[in-house]
């Protein structure tokens, strides 16, 4: 027919449009970075990092920071930040250890199931304290959660008496049991991602989180209870930190403030890094849980690969910081070009 474009030209245009749509997807850059990291470390470690056992190990290691990152993402989406997640996880772990350990002089022993419930409640309670100071007293989230981080670290040393508490063997099932070869902790992580996605995308509360982070004044004028939104994201963050603590103590079967002091600091840094790498804006209102998933996997592959490659601690810090800056910078450039 006259005036119709050639079929080859039309098909080429369709392909170009599809490629453009793919590259404009908010998670495209993250997938590329993840693939590149997997390929690079696979080469550096002579494919050792690509073995089945190591992939399962990455899943297990990522589960703790992944669950905590879901809570962190909700907080950052409201233009807040929670640097206390590591401290809360440390204190919750030591509380759990004191409750279930058979060592004399502690709070326990109580049944390990009851101990797990109390650990989760403790995490939510500590998050609620953060939420009250941020939402009701209108204090800066960074200051409030930084203070909570210091408080929880000190309290953990008191509760644990600065000793390592060995835990009942039954607790090992979270990290050392599997379904179809996949650790139960990985299923907990996936469940957290799914619930976080549903919460943000299919509930009124999720809409409130985005609205408050986007423009709190407009959200308040539209009838959203902004203070309640701020309060509950910190409760959820504390609860997620407690789940992370359960996963970690199941891995190491010990609750020690010395070990957890290091783990807690890394947890706070890694969750913030994973959320930001995942495309969640530090100014709030923009980002997705799927992006956070990729951010967690990028941090997990990076940490694991550097350890297997036996890079020094300073080289690890340099490389990790560079990847974080590159991921954030490339993603920011892509967003501006849309």
- Reported as a pLDDT band with limits 50, 70 and 90, residue 231 is very high
pLDDT for the residue numbered 216? 92
**What's the 3-state SS for 81-97?**
CCCCHHHHHHHHHHHHH
281 within some domain: yes
User: Is residue 136 scored above 60 in pLDDT?
Assistant: yes
121 within some domain: yes
> Tell me: the pLDDT tens digits for 77-86?
999 999 999 9
CATH code, 314: 1.10.3470
170 within some domain: yes
139 within some domain: yes
Top pLDDT among 144 and 97 is at 144
Cα–Cα distance for residue pair 141/133, rounded to 1 Å: 8
Range with the lowest mean pLDDT among 22-26, 112-116, 140-144, 168-172?
22-26
Query: What would the DSSP string read from start to end of 168-208?
Result: -GGGGHHHH-EETTEEHHHHHHHHHHHHHHHHHHHSHHHHH
> Tell me: the pLDDT tens digits for 24-72?
667 788 888 889 989 988 888 888 888 888 888 888 889 999 999 999 9
- Number of domains within the chain: 1
11 within some domain: no
Say whether the peptide bond before residue 109 is cis (omega within 30 degrees of 0).
yes
Q: What percent of the chain has a predicted confidence (pLDDT) above 90? A: 44
- Name the pTM for this structure: 0.88
* Domain limits for position 177: 62-337
Average pLDDT, the chain: 85
Burial of 271 (0-12, 13-18, 19+ CB in 10 A): buried
124 within some domain: yes
98 within some domain: yes
241 within some domain: yes
User: Is residue 7 scored above 80 in pLDDT?
Assistant: no
pLDDT for the residue numbered 261? 58
């Amino acid at each position: 027919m006259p005036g119709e474009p050639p079929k080859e030209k039309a098909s080429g245009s369709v392909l170009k449009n599809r490629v453009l749509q793919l590259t404009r997807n908010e998670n495209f850059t993250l997938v590329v970075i993840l693939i590149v990291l997997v390929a690079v470390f696979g080469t550096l470690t002579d494919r050792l990092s690509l073995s089945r056992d190591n992939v399962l190990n990455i899943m297990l290691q990522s589960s703790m920071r992944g669950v905590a990152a879901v809570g962190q993402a909700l907080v950052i989406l409201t233009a807040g930040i929670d640097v206390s997640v590591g401290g809360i996880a440390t204190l919750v772990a030591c509380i759990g250890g004191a409750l279930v350990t058979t060592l004399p002089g502690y709070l326990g022993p109580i049944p390990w199931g009851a101990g797990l419930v109390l650990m989760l409640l403790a995490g939510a309670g500590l998050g609620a304290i953060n939420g009250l100071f941020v939402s009701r007293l209108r204090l800066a989230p960074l200051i409030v959660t930084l203070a909570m981080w210091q408080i929880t670290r000190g309290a953990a040393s008191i509760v644990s008496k600065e000793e390592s508490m060995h835990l009942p063997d039954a607790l090992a099932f979270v990290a050392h049991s599997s379904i179809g070869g996949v650790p139960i902790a990985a299923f907990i992580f996936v469940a957290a991602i799914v619930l976080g996605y549903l919460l943000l995308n299919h509930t009124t509360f999720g809409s409130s989180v985005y609205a408050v982070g986007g423009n709190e004044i407009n959200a308040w004028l539209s009838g959203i209870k902004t203070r309640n939104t701020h309060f509950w994201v910190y409760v959820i963050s504390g609860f997620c930190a407690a789940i992370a603590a359960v996963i970690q103590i199941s891995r190491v079967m010990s609750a020690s403030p010395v070990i957890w002091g290091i783990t807690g600091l890394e947890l706070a840094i890694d969750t913030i890094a994973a959320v930001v790498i995942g495309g969640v804006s530090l100014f709030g209102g923009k980002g997705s849980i799927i992006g956070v998933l990729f951010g967690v996997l990028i941090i997990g592959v990076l940490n694991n690969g550097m350890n297997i490659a036996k890079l020094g601690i300073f080289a690890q810090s340099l490389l990790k910081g560079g990847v974080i800056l590159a991921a954030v910078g490339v993603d920011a450039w892509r967003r501006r070009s849309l």
